[in-house]
Amino acid sequence: MTYGRAPLSTRNGRTYIAQARGRERDDGTWEGWLEFVPDDGSEILSSERETTQPNYVDLEYWATGLTPVYLEGAFARARSHEVVSVPTARTPVVGGLTPTVQAVLDPFSTYAQGEDVLRAKLGALSPLHLRAILRDYELTGADGELEALTKPELVALIVTSVRRHEE
Cβ neighbours of 33 (radius 10 Å): 21
Residues 80 and 113 in one domain: no
Task: Say if 99 falls within a structural domain.
Answer: no
What pLDDT does residue 142 have? Answer: 55
What residues have CB less than 8 Å from 106, skipping those under 6 apart?
Answer: 137
Q: What's the rounded Cα separation, in Å, for the pair 160 and 155?
A: 9
94 secondary structure, DSSP code: P
Q: What's the rounded Cα separation, in Å, for the pair 125 and 152?
A: 11
What pLDDT does residue 143 have? Answer: 56
Phi, psi of 65 (to 5 degrees): -95, 5
What pLDDT does residue 96 have? Answer: 39
Strands 8-9 and 44-46, sheet pairing: unpaired
Would you put residue 55 in left (φ > 0), alpha (ψ -120 to 50) or beta? beta
Residues 17 and 76 in one domain: yes
Residues 27 and 66 in one domain: yes
Task: Say if 2 falls within a structural domain.
Answer: no
Residues 59 and 20 in one domain: yes
What pLDDT does residue 1 have? Answer: 32
Strands, DSSP E only, in 25-94?
Answer: 30-38, 44-46, 51-53, 84-85
Q: What's the rounded Cα separation, in Å, for the pair 133 and 160?
A: 13
Polymer length of the chain: 167
What pLDDT does residue 86 have? Answer: 43
Task: Say if 156 falls within a structural domain.
Answer: yes
Task: Say if 101 falls within a structural domain.
Answer: no
Residues 67 and 112 in one domain: no
Nearest to 157 by CA among 35, 138, 114, 167: 138
Task: Say if 92 falls within a structural domain.
Answer: no
Instruction: Say if residues 47 and 84 touch (Cβ distance below 8 Å).
Output: no
Residues 77 and 21 in one domain: yes
Q: What's the rounded Cα separation, in Å, for the pair 35 and 42?
A: 13
Q: What's 39's domain CATH number?
A: 3.30.160
Task: Say if 112 falls within a structural domain.
Answer: yes
Q: Whole domain around residue 61: which residue ranges?
A: 8-85
Query: How many domains would you assign to the chain?
Result: 2
From first to last of its 167 residues, the chain has per-residue pLDDT tens of: 333 355 787 777 788 888 888 889 899 999 988 888 888 777 888 888 999 999 888 888 788 778 778 888 888 888 876 544 444 444 445 543 334 456 778 999 999 999 999 999 998 887 777 888 888 888 876 556 777 888 899 999 999 999 998 88
Query: pTM for the whole thing?
Result: 0.48
